[in-house]
């Protein structure tokens, strides 16, 4: 009985292949390796293009309902935020850096500027580069001109009495 069972199993396995006389399909072609991807070099860090401006803590604090944008810095007890204020069509985002002094001192805020918009483009320990879009009035023509600029903002490790804002390129 065991012998018949074994012959049946082997016969069944033999029947699993291609029937005799059936052509076997060619294997699928091997895909060629993709072309190497060029890796762009890292952008150069922003470099100062003018003297730093010292900014003292802001006297006035905006209420939380006025905040329209906030970016918390990684690794630092600091954040950038802006509040709605001024003319919304021209530089309507009053932008601040807030630095924590811990539970004893609380937060100190520094007004960085008044912009149409801003974004963090670089961040390293002790400094952040902001790309800002702001409008200015041409004194001779009275026309409003809008453009982008880079600012290097010194970010202290703890609340201090001033921070620096340096134009960059």
CA 31, 32, 38, 39 torsion: positive or negative? Answer: positive
Provide the phi-psi class of 126: left if phi over 0, else alpha when psi is between -120 and 50, else beta: left
Specify the number of domains making up the chain: 1
Report if residue 78 sits inside a domain.
yes
Q: Which domain holds residue 62?
A: 53-168
Contacts for 130-136: CB closer than 8 Å, 24+ residues apart: 130/80, 130/95, 132/95, 134/91, 135/90, 135/91
Report if residue 63 sits inside a domain.
yes
pLDDT tens, N- to C-terminus, the chain (169 residues): 444 444 444 444 444 444 445 555 555 555 555 555 555 566 788 888 988 888 887 766 666 667 889 999 977 689 999 988 666 667 888 999 999 888 888 888 999 999 999 999 999 989 999 999 999 888 899 899 999 999 999 998 877 889 999 999 9
Whether pTM > 0.85 for this model: the answer is: no
């Amino acid at each position: 009985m065991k012998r018949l069972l074994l012959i049946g199993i082997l016969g069944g396995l033999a029947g699993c292949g291609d029937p005799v006389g059936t052509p076997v399909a060619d294997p699928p072609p091997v895909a060629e390796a993709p072309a190497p991807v060029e890796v762009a070099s890292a952008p150069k860090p922003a470099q100062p293009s003018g003297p730093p401006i010292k900014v003292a803590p802001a006297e006035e604090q905006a209420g939380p309902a006025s905040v329209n944008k906030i970016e918390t810095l990684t690794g630092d007890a600091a954040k950038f935020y802006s509040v709605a204020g001024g003319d919304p069509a021209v530089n309507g985002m009053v932008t601040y850096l807030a630095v924590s002094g811990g539970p004893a001192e609380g937060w100190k805020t520094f007004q960085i500027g008044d912009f149409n918009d801003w974004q963090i483009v670089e961040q390293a320990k002790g400094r952040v580069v902001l790309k800002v879009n702001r409008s200015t009035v041409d004194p001779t023509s009275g026309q409003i001109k809008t453009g982008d600029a880079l600012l290097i903002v010194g970010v202290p490790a703890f609340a201090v009495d001033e921070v620096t804002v340096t134009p960059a390129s």
